[in-house]
């Protein structure tokens, strides 16, 4: 069997059509950029930027935008072997408006149905899913069939693998299954989003039973557990079955609670926000990186917090994902300074190291510890 992947993500992908102007309503924007988008895809990019071998399981339309996403994934160093076309549905696109520091409305175009919700369980490479050191899935994957069954099938395969090896691979390296709570009510049937008595919480609980790490903001934690107070939400996530609960609180920082009793409360890293979309995905990729490195919880959270803050200081998302030296610079400075506020592409301050190949542009998700398209 080939060498296992460090990170396999599963779920949403699309094209972000983002304004190249800030502080301007969408109706008045004149210039746009085309970027790789979708939270799981961005997490794979973020982890790849930090040196990890990554792949994504998803589907696109059989169209020019789908071709673009394959190209972008390849340029970012993300394996696209499990990205397959769906002839019936177009590749989704997402628009946003950019009003720093904290207003970034998103407009999703995923009708009549997004191809990434057409992932079928029988088409999954379960051997690769089981073998991956980190498997990352999202709440959006639970919102419709056949994606829901496919996602739960992958989670059950992970649980079976962890039961066999005690949660670590043969070489002793950790194995983690991360549930990004990723609550997007507009993707669920209206009957499933009326208050918190919908079917969504039950779907979330079913998935949590197979995860070892849960990550979400306060709204997402409330959907998953019914709890909104950060410590209560973390305790409820642990009670649902995970070993590490990560509660993102935006301007209040991040709270992480481990089943072993370890607690980390990390304040936000000072940053002049340009675009909060994508920061949560940078956080996710850095979280995977820290888990793979075997770091203690507090160190992982500080590193992930810094990665998210860097992306919040940039206009784009995927291409804005930081390299390790940029995260270290931000941590050393105790803030995101001018040295790391470039675009993530060559030729601008704080961007790629000399001699590093460039990459496509890209935006997609929310908040220094937030979420994303």
Q: How many CB atoms are closer than 10 A to CB 284?
A: 33
- Write phi, then psi, for 120 (nearest 5 degrees): -105, 140
pLDDT of residue 193 exceeding 90: no
Mean pLDDT computed over 296-315: 96
Q: What is the helix (H) or strand (E) element at residue 123, kind and residue range? A: none
CA 361/CA 318 separation, integer angstroms: 7
pLDDT band for position 154 (50/70/90)?
very high
Six-digit token pair at 294? 């075997």
Q: Is 331 helix (H, G, I), strand (E, B) or coil?
A: helix
Which one-letter DSSP state was computed for residue 18? Answer: E
pLDDT in tens, 206-257: 999 999 999 999 999 999 999 999 999 999 999 999 999 999 998 899 999 9
pLDDT in tens, 21-51: 999 999 999 999 999 999 999 999 999 999 9
Mean pLDDT computed over 311-331: 95
pLDDT of residue 78 exceeding 50: yes
State the pLDDT at residue 173: 64
**Pick from 128, 130, 124, 210: which is nearest to 165 by CA?**
130
Q: Are 125 and 94 contacting, i.e. CB atoms less than 8 angstroms apart?
A: no
Measured N-to-C along each axis, helices 147-165 and 200-208 cross at an angle, to the nearest 10 degrees, of: 20
* 247/315: higher pLDDT: 247
Q: Are 12 and 39 contacting, i.e. CB atoms less than 8 angstroms apart?
A: yes
pLDDT in tens, 325-369: 999 999 999 999 876 666 666 433 333 332 332 333 333 333 345
Mean pLDDT computed over 285-303: 97
- Write phi, then psi, for 138 (nearest 5 degrees): -130, 160
**Cβ neighbours of residue 114 under 8 Å, at least 6 residues apart?**
12, 14, 89, 92, 187
State the pLDDT at residue 169: 57
Mean pLDDT computed over 248-269: 95
CA 55/CA 9 separation, integer angstroms: 6
Q: Is 191 helix (H, G, I), strand (E, B) or coil?
A: helix
CA 353/CA 336 separation, integer angstroms: 17
Which one-letter DSSP state was computed for residue 260? Answer: T
Six-digit token pair at 52? 């990890």
State the pLDDT at residue 167: 60
pLDDT band for position 171 (50/70/90)?
low
Taking the CA atoms of residue 126, residue 129, residue 130 and residue 133 in that order, the dihedral angle to the nearest 10 degrees is: 170
State the pLDDT at residue 338: 77
Residue 101: asked if its preceding bond is cis (omega within 30°), the reply is yes
Of 68-82, 92-106, 313-327, 340-354, which range is least confident?
A: 340-354
Q: Is 35 helix (H, G, I), strand (E, B) or coil?
A: strand
């Amino acid at each position: 069997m080939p060498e296992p992947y460090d990170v396999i993500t599963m779920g949403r992908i699309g094209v972000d059509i983002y304004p190249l102007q800030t502080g301007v309503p969408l109706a008045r924007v004149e210039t746009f950029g085309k970027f790789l988008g979708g939270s799981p895809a961005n997490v794979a990019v973020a982890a790849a930027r930090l040196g990890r071998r990554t792949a994504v399981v998803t589907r696109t339309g059989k169209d020019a935008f789908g071709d673009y996403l394959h190209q972008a994934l390849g340029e970012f160093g993300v394996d696209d072997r499990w990205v397959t076309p769906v002839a019936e549905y177009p590749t989704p696109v997402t628009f946003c408006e950019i009003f720093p520091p904290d207003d970034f409305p998103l407009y999703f175009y995923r009708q009549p149905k997004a191809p990434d919700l057409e992932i079928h369980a029988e088409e999954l490479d379960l051997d690769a899913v089981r073998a991956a050191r980190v498997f990352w899935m999202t709440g959006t994957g639970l919102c419709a069939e056949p994606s829901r069954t496919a996602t739960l099938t992958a989670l059950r395969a992970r649980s079976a693998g962890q039961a066999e090896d005690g949660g670590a691979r043969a070489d002793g390296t950790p194995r983690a299954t991360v549930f990004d709570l990723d609550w997007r009510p507009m993707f669920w049937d209206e009957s499933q989003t009326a208050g918190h008595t919908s079917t969504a919480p039950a779907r979330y609980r079913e998935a949590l039973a197979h995860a070892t790490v849960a990550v979400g903001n306060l709204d997402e934690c409330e959907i998953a557990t019914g709890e909104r107070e950060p410590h209560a939400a973390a305790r409820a996530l642990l009670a649902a079955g995970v070993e590490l609960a990560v509660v993102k609180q935006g301007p209040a920082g991040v709270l992480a609670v481990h089943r072993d009793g370890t607690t980390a409360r990390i304040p936000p890293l000072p940053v002049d926000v340009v675009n909060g979309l994508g920061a949560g995905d940078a956080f996710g990729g850095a979280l995977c990186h820290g888990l793979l490195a075997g770091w203690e919880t507090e160190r992982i959270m500080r590193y992930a917090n810094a990665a998210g803050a860097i992306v919040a200081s940039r206009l784009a998302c995927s291409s804005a994902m930081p390299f390790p030296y940029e995260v270290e610079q931000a941590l050393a400075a105790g803030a995101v300074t001018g040295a790391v506020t470039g675009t993530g592409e060559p030729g601008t301050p704080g961007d790629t190291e000399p001699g590093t190949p460039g990459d496509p542009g890209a935006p997609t998700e929310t908040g220094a510890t937030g979420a994303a398209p």
